[in-house]
Structures are given as C-alpha cells and as structure tokens.
C-alpha cells in the first residue's frame, strides 16, 4: 500500500514514542522506515541508516534487528516450546518465513521459525545472527504476533551454547550423542554402582495408564554404561547455562542421534536421572524405532512404532515434558499416531522439506537451471552421503534430460530424487565456478526472491499437510 509516499507493508505499521515505523519496499529491497511525528525524534529509537525528512531509512542490518527486537517484543523469539504443540521450521535458506507465518496463523500450534544446527550454518555459510534477524524482519513485515521460537539445534559445545543463548535464542537442543556409548554389551558394560542397584532393581515402576517398567541387572548395567556420561553432560550444561534463569531459554535433551533406538526402559532411566539431578527440560527427543531418513516418509514397522510411541508418550506425561520428534520432514505415515498417542502435546522438527519445496519452485519455474543443479547433485552425491544415513538408489532417478520440462516438478514424488537433492544442499549452494563466483547460489536466490508468493503458498500446503496429519486444528 502507499503510505506517506512509501510502498509500505500494511501489517507492519507500528506507532512507538511519537514515531511511526514500518517495513517498505524500496528499490526492490525491504527496508525499515521510521517517521517522526511533529516534535518527536526518529533517531531516539536507536535505528541507524539514511536520514529522511523527519525520519530514517534503516537497512536490514543486524544492529537494526537488535533495535527492532528491543522495541517490538513480537519480533523477538519467545519460549513457545512450553506450549502444547510446537513445530520447528528449519529454514536453511532464510526465505521460508513468509510461508511459515501463513501456516501458523492458521493452525493451533506454535512455530519455531529459527532453527539451525551448527552444521547447517556451516553448509549454508550463514550465522545465527542472520538466521534470527531474517525471522525478526519477516515477522515485523507480516505483523505476526502469535509468538515464535528460535532453536540452537543440536548444539554440543559450551561455545555453541554461549553463541545461541547470547543472541537470545529461546531454546537449546542439547545434542548428547558424543557422550552416548555405542556397541555396549553385557560383556563390556561397566560394573554397576550400588546406588543404581538400590534405586532401580527389584522394583516395579508404575508410571500410569497401565504401563509399568522393571529393570533387570544386566539391562540396567548396559543402560548406565550407555547413558551415564550423557546424563552428566546434560546436567553440567543445564547448571552452567540455564539453572539460574538468566537466559530466557528452554532446554531440549536430544538422545536421538544414535544408531540404536531408545528403548522405553532407557528413556525412563535418562529422564528419571536428569530430573533427579535437578535438570529442568521441556522436551526430550528419543531415537524411535524404524528409520527417520531425511525428506521421505517413515520406513519401518508401523505397528511396532505405534506400540513404542505409546509407551514413550506415557513416560513423557509421567515426568511432565513433551516428546520431541526430529527429522519430522514428510513422516506422513506416523503423524496420526504421534498426534494421537501424545494427546496433541508434542514438538516436531522439520528442516529439509522446506529446502525441497524451494527446489520444487525451481523445477517448475526454470527447468534449465533445475537440470544443471540436479546433474551437479548427482556428481556430488557420494561426497554428501558421507554425512547422512540414507539408502538412496540413484539408478531409480530418471535422467533429467529424458524428462519433459513439465515432468520435472514430478521428481519431488520420487524418494530417491528427494534424497539426492535433500542431502546435497550445502554442496549445491557452495559450488563455485572457475572465476570464484557461485555457480548456482545467486541464480537460485534471485529466482526464489522473484517467486516469494509461490513459495509461501507451497509451504502453506506442504507444512499444512504435516499439521493436518498430526491432528492439529485450524484456528483461522
């Protein structure tokens, strides 16, 4: 809309301390405009930029994001993990917020719009500042006021926790995997301290809803060996960063990045030990049975999954935290049971599917560019596959040159093509030509920029499908 001579985003307009501030389109870019009423001082709000007559044109810098978050609390992350239903929307590219906002304006769940692991930062060449600022600006622009979170995802070190918390991230997902022992057998398990014997053996733990758990000595010995150090690590990090409440952030315990599924007994033990150590956490992510491979539906025994999620959900309710489900992109066949067994109380994370939807836009809009990227992805696949557990069969992907342009978007229904594009995102974005310029990145971003609306609508449909199957009601 035209507002005082600016091409303003209507929903962004705010009045603060005698000034009007809003987001406007200026020369093809979004920018913050601050206009002072008579007698007010536009500079007093703290934005920096170019002087206007009675105002400031403030570019979307980190410094201005800091000011924005201070002035307008809805543009800062908050502790939405504490809500019954929360949903992580990892946006690796920093272009999905518009679509994600539309989704969560419609559904009875709370979004974590900013969610990245350090690995994702490295692969996309982004920073946590950028990840957070991008969302703050989008939330401001769209006037989204329901609340959203920022997740320092899969953090493992003191340095990384400090980094995310220092910026105001509203949750930390502590990745305990480096402290979880693997290949533990009865033969190599450590001897069992008497305190654990007294606490757990010869007892029946009735945790409600007809579920009771019993430990035998051999099993307990293995469990203590596998998780003992991880529990100590989580307790240390909690005491160091979160116990005193200086940071307004929630704690998620992640024990999912292991090769073996978390059994109900293991889950109970980890939760019980953390709680007895005084650790307060909002969510815990077990490793579920079957396979949660990237960007495709669940693989495994559905009946077994349903049986186990039932018990995991009872344990979580017993201790009063939420289950967190990682790698939730496109796990459509298990969403109904997750929604049902958790009683609609959960956190689900997605990331890669948002990137795949973005590549779907490329396939439809610029077939030639899509073919180039696809062929490069094929050549880079073996490199990327070192970092992911996938069972991709490249021979099942039709040659892109044999497909008509109109058939390219259909590749997103091919699981092998999905995984090919999914796991090669970092290599695709970072590929440089001999002159040192990005081979694809700039062209891709230009395309997405020009088709912002199309991408937003695709995300509304696709993430909406996730929420529908999880049983989340529509509110708008």
Q: Which residue ranges make up the site for Zn ion (CB under 5 A)?
A: 256, 326
Burial of 10 (0-12, 13-18, 19+ CB in 10 A): exposed
Least Å distance between CB 349 and Zn ion? 7
Q: Which is closer to Zn ion, CB of 250 or CB of 256?
A: 256
User: 256 or 416, CB closer to Zn ion?
Assistant: 256
CA angle 275–279–281, rounded 5-degree value? 95
Q: Any bridge partners for residue 88, and if so which?
A: 112, 349
Nearest distance from C-beta of residue 154 to Zn ion, angstroms = 6
Instruction: Summarize the chain as % helix, strand, coil (round to 5).
Output: 50, 15, 35
Catalytic residue (choose from 252, 273, 366, 416): 252
Q: Which of 67, 289 has the CB closer to Zn ion?
A: 289
| Residues 139, 162: Cα–Cα separation, whole Å | 25
- 94 φ, ψ (degrees, to nearest 5): 75, 30
320 C-beta neighbours (distance < 10 Å), count: 9
| Residue that has been written with the tokens 């703050």 in this structure | 136
Residues 346-366: b if buried by 16+ CB within 10 A, e if exposed? bbbbbbbbbbbbbbbbbbbbb
Beta-bridge partners for 201: 215
Point out the residue whose Cβ comes nearest to Zn ion. Answer: 326
CB 173 → Zn ion: shortest distance, Å?
7
* Residue (141 or 326) nearer to Zn ion, CB: 326
Would you say 322 or 326 has its CB closer to Zn ion? 326
Tell me the chain's radius of gyration from C-alpha atoms: 24
**Which residue number, 127 or 177, has a Cβ lying nearer to Zn ion?**
177
Catalytic residue among 120, 133, 153, 250: 153
CB of 117 to Zn ion, least distance (A): 8
- Rounded Cα distance between 15 and 432, Å, is 45
Min CB(258)–Zn ion separation in Å: 10
Residue 337 contacts residue 313 (beta carbons within 8 Å): no
153 annotated active-site: yes
Q: How far is the CB of 51 from Zn ion (least distance, A)?
A: 48
For residue 216, indicate whether it is catalytic: no
> What are the residue numbers of the active site?
153, 252
């Amino acid at each position: 809309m035209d507002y005082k001579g600016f091409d303003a985003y209507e929903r962004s307009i705010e009045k603060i301390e005698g000034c009007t501030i809003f987001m406007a389109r200026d020369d093809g870019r979004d920018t913050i405009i601050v206009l002072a009423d008579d007698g007010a001082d536009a500079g007093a709000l703290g934005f920096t930029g170019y002087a206007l007559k009675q105002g400031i044109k403030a570019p979307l810098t980190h410094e201005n994001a800091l000011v924005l978050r201070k002035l307008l609390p809805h543009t800062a992350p908050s502790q939405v993990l504490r809500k019954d239903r929360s949903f992580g929307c990892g946006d690796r590219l920093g272009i999905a917020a518009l679509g994600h906002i539309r989704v969560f304006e419609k559904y009875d769940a709370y979004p974590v719009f900013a969610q990245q692991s350090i690995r994702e930062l490295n692969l996309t060449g982004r920073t946590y500042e950028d990840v957070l600022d991008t969302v703050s600006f989008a939330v401001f622009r769209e006037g989204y006021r329901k609340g959203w979170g920022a997740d320092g995802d899969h953090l493992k070190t003191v340095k990384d926790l400090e980094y995310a918390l220092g910026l105001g991230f509203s949750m930390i997902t502590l990745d305990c995997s480096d402290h979880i022992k693997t290949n533990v057998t009865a033969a190599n398990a450590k001897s069992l301290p008497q305190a654990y014997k007294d606490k757990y053996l010869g007892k029946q733990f009735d945790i409600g809803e007809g579920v009771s758990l019993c430990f035998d000595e051999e099993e307990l010995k293995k469990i203590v060996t596998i998780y003992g150090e991880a529990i100590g690590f989580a307790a240390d990090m909690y005491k160091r960063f979160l116990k005193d409440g200086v940071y307004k952030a929630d704690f998620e315990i992640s024990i999912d990045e292991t090769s073996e599924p978390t059994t109900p007994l293991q889950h109970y033990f980890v939760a019980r030990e953390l709680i007895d150590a005084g650790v307060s956490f909002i969510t815990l992510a077990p490793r579920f049975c079957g396979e949660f491979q990237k960007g495709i539906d669940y693989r495994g025994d559905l009946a077994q999954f349903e049986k186990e999620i039932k018990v995991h959900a009872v344990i979580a309710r017993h201790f009063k935290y939420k289950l967190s489900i990682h790698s939730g992109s496109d796990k459509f066949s298990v969403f109904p049971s997750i929604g049902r067994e958790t009683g609609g109380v959960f956190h689900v994370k997605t990331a890669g599917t948002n990137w795949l939807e973005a590549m779907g836009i490329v396939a439809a809009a610029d077939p030639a560019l899509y073919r180039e990227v696809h062929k490069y992805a094929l050549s880079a696949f073996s490199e990327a596959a070192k970092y992911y557990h996938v069972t991709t069969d490249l021979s099942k992907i039709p040659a892109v040159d044999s497909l008509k342009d109109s058939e390219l978007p259909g590749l997103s229904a091919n699981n092998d093509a999905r995984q090919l594009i999914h796991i090669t995102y970092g290599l695709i974005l970072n590929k440089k030509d001999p002159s040192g310029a990005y081979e694809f990145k700039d062209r891709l971003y230009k395309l997405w920029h020009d088709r912002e609306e199309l991408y937003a609508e695709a995300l509304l449909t696709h993430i909406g499908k996730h929420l529908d199957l999880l049983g989340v009601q529509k509110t708008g």
